[in-house]
Amino acid sequence: MKELRWMVVVVLIGILIGCEKQVPVTAQPVPSTNSLETAEEYLARGDSFSAMQEYDLAILDYDQAIRLNPKYAEAYNNRGYAYYWSNNATQAIADYSQAIELRPNYAYAYNNRGAAYMASGHADQAIRDFDHAIQLQSDFPQAYINRGNGYLRLGCFGLAIADFRRGGANPVKTMMLLCGVPTISILLGAVIMKIGRRRLLAKSRHTIQNE
């Protein structure tokens, strides 16, 4: 495993209550050698540590990979991943930004930086990054779901539902996971009321125009 391309971050941030971070990872055996020589070897071992959620050790290996190859975009992206799950969104954003600078078409880095922006409370910036990720890779379910989370955070329920569907997720179940059952009931009630107001307004305008 040379890089964490499959380890895209899906941020689960509720509007009214917090939710635990969840990401599927598969533990990999850590190489036993203590005499690593190449940036690729350090990256691979760092990925193994990340898979086991040993993020401090992973960061040390990514540091070495970057020392050996300062233009190693994957190492910056994967170190950003480790910083993110170590609750250091600021450093994660810095690493993702460096990965993007080195590889402007790096869809995964855009998605991951968007996730870090979401964790920092910057939904607008996050959505812009998810937009970039989707432009670069249209078949990117996690980016659609993440962007849906961003729209949900901003109260754009229609856009959120559309993105959840594009990402292959059930909108209602996803919002329940993000926000909890009581909160989603309030949100759905607000959406229904908003739709009702729009229909009433449209009917009123139609009546006025025909008088």
pLDDT digits (tens, 9 = 90+) for 63-90: 999 999 999 999 999 999 999 999 999 9
pLDDT digits (tens, 9 = 90+) for 116-131: 999 999 999 999 999 9
In a domain, 147, yes or no: yes
In a domain, 52, yes or no: yes
Query: How many domains, in total, are found in the chain?
Result: 1
In a domain, 22, yes or no: no
Distance CA 50, CA 81 (A): 8
- Average pLDDT rounded to a whole number, residues 180-202: 53
**pTM exceeds 0.85, yes or no:** no
What percent of the chain shows pLDDT beyond 70?
A: 68
Tracing tokens 């250091």 back to the chain, one arrives at 88
Alpha helices in 34-156 (DSSP H): 39-51, 55-68, 73-85, 89-102, 107-119, 123-136, 141-154
In a domain, 29, yes or no: no
- Among 162, 160, 157, smallest CA distance to 186 is for 157
In a domain, 167, yes or no: yes
Q: Find the CATH number of the domain harbouring 167.
A: 1.25.40.10
- Average pLDDT rounded to a whole number, residues 133-161: 93
Give the least confident one: 5-9, 43-47, 84-88, 98-102.
5-9
In a domain, 133, yes or no: yes
